[in-house]
Amino acid sequence: EIKAVLGDDYVGKTSLILNHSYKVPHLHPTETLVMKLEEQEYSLLLCDTEDRDYPRLRQLLYAETDVFLICFSLAGDYDPERVVTKWAPEIRHFFPDARICLVGTKLDRRGCETKDVTNFQALSYRQGLQLARKISAWQYIECSARTHKGVHAVFREAIKVAIAPDLEQR
C-alpha cells in the first residue's frame, strides 16, 4: 500500500480525492484508491489533512508516508506562497528527502472572476511549474474535480513518484 498525505484547507483537495472514487464530493478523512499502473495493481491510501485544527495530529499522519501531495488552488482564491512558506517546510522538517507532488486544483476556475475579494492572481501553468521547482517537487500536475480533467493523472503520478527509484527525482 502506498500512503499519500494532502495539505491545505479550501483548495479542493477533498473534492479531488472523493471525485476520483465516487464522482461526487463528500467528506471522509481517508480514502483508499486501487489503481492499475503498467499491469501492476496499487492501493493508494489518501489522508486528507486539516491545516487549522490539529497540527500535531496532522503531523502524526506523516509517518510512513510514501508521497506528499501539496494541493493549492489555481483559481486566484488562495495564496500560493503558503506552499513555500508553510507546507514544503513543514514536510521537509520531518522528512528532508520527502517525495512531493505539487497539485494545482480548480483548473476549471483558472481565469474566472472569483466572488471572494482576494489579492491573489490565478496561476498559469508556467508559474505552477516554477512553484514546483522552488520546493523541489518531483512532479507538478493540474486538475479539476468539477470537470474531472487531470484527476486520474494526479493519482497515477503520485504512484509513479512513490515507486520511483531515488535517482529519478526531477
Domain count, the chain: 1
> Could you list the residue range(s) of the whole structural domain that residue 125 is in?
2-164
Task: Name the percent of the chain lying above pLDDT 70.
Answer: 76
- Whether 91 is in a domain gets the answer yes
- Would you say 3 and 66 are in contact if contact means Cβ atoms under 8 Å apart? yes
Decide if pLDDT at 55 tops 80. no
Decide if pLDDT at 146 tops 80. yes
Element (H, E) at 108: none
pTM of the shown model: 0.83
Decide if pLDDT at 25 tops 50. no
Give the model's pLDDT for residue 153: 95
- Whether 170 is in a domain gets the answer no
Decide if pLDDT at 116 tops 70. no
Contacts of 30 (CB under 8 A, 6+ apart): 45, 46, 47, 48
Give the model's pLDDT for residue 46: 85
- Whether 169 is in a domain gets the answer no
| 81 SS3 class | helix
Contacts of 51 (CB under 8 A, 6+ apart): 7, 8, 9, 58, 86
- Whether 101 is in a domain gets the answer yes
CA distance 49 to 6: 6
CA distance 162 to 26: 26
Which of 37-41, 143-147, 163-167 is predicted with the least confidence, judged by mean pLDDT?
163-167
**What are the beta bridge partners of residue 48?**
6
Residue 100 maps to which CATH number? 3.40.50.300
